[in-house]
């Protein structure tokens, strides 16, 4: 019998790609689409639509199908408590929900994992379903310039130190200088800000300069909220005049590794996967 897994689906194309990959590997998938967030494309698979606060219904749907494994996949804007519209299953867990909403994103997601594990479910990462969606090691497009190796080490150490504050997962650096840091606005908005800094003369390098570095927070549970890059990320890096992008190998999601590498080559950007702890 094929293994069963429930996918809790946020926005973007990752839920669909992950579901297809899991099915190819012989998994039996059931998708729980978050209403107003997940795309209609998930209806290609056995599915149900749920409000983000319908915890009780989610557990009932999963239990009814004798599913023991759950994977969270796709983008999700952090909700406020008043946005949840809890069902009875959620109301019964209000003390736990309030507790994990008082903190940063990583704290909140760890709380969600605990809720699902308390129901006897195993929360797995997307790497268990579709390892090909994770960034590869080494140069995936172009070549990391030797003169940017120091900037990469600087950015990795900076992001590791920033992890204590449960902030963003990305930064733009140049000449050991932090040009921009990702916060709640997301990577694409950060890159647009870098492009604007160039246009307004607040950052004035000659030609292409700097790189985007993206990695999970230190101590982050890699089963949820992995950082991701896609075509918009590359377009944003190109518009910002960066030299390229470096991401944590095995720790950053890539919608289509080959397509992104080809896009990077066309744009004249390098795309590199680094390994190991921050220096």
Query: What are the pLDDT digits (tens) for 27-62?
Result: 999 999 999 899 999 999 999 999 888 888 999 999
CA atoms within 13 A on the CB side of 251: 23
Return the beta strands (E) in the chain as ranges: 4-9, 28-34, 47-50, 69-73, 122-124, 138-141, 170-174, 177-181, 211-214, 228-229, 244-248, 253-254, 270-274
pLDDT at 75: 81
Give dist(CA 15, CA 24) in Å, integer.
14
Q: Which residues contact 61 (CB under 8 A, 6 or more apart)?
A: 6, 30, 32, 48, 50
pLDDT at 106: 65
Three-state DSSP class for 70? strand
Closest CA to 148 of 3, 16, 22, 269: 269
- Are residues 47 and 32 in contact, defined by beta-carbon separation less than 8 angstroms? yes
pLDDT at 220: 80
Residue spans of the chain under pLDDT 50: none
């Amino acid at each position: 019998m094929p293994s069963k897994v429930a996918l809790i689906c946020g926005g973007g194309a990752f839920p669909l790609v992950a579901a297809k990959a899991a099915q190819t590997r012989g998994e039996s998938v059931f998708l729980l689409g978050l209403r107003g967030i997940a795309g209609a494309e998930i209806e290609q698979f056995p599915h149900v639509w749920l409000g983000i606060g319908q915890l009780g219904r989610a557990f009932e749907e999963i239990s009814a199908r004798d599913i023991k494994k759950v994977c969270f996949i796709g983008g999700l804007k952090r909700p406020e408590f008043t946005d949840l519209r809890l069902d009875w299953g959620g109301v019964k867990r209000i003390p736990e929900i309030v507790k994990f909403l008082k903190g940063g994103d990583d704290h909140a997601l760890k709380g969600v994992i605990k809720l699902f594990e308390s129901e006897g479910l195993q929360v797995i990462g997307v790497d268990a379903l579709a390892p090909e969606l994770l960034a590869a090691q080494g140069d995936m497009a172009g070549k990391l310039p030797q003169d940017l190796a120091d900037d990469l080490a600087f950015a990795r150490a900076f992001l590791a130190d920033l992890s204590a504050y449960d902030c963003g997962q990305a930064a733009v650096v140049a000449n050991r200088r932090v040009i921009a840091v990702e916060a709640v606005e997301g990577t694409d908005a950060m890159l647009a800000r870098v492009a604007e800094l160039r246009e307004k003369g607040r950052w004035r390098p000659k030609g292409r300069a700097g790189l985007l570095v993206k990695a999970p927070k230190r101590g982050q549970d890699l089963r949820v909220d992995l950082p991701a890059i896609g075509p918009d990320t590359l377009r944003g890096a190109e518009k910002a005049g960066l030299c390229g992008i470096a991401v944590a190998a095995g720790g950053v999601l890539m919608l289509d590794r080959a397509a992104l590498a080809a896009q990077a080559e066309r744009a004249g950007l390098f795309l590199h996967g680094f390994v190991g702890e921050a220096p």
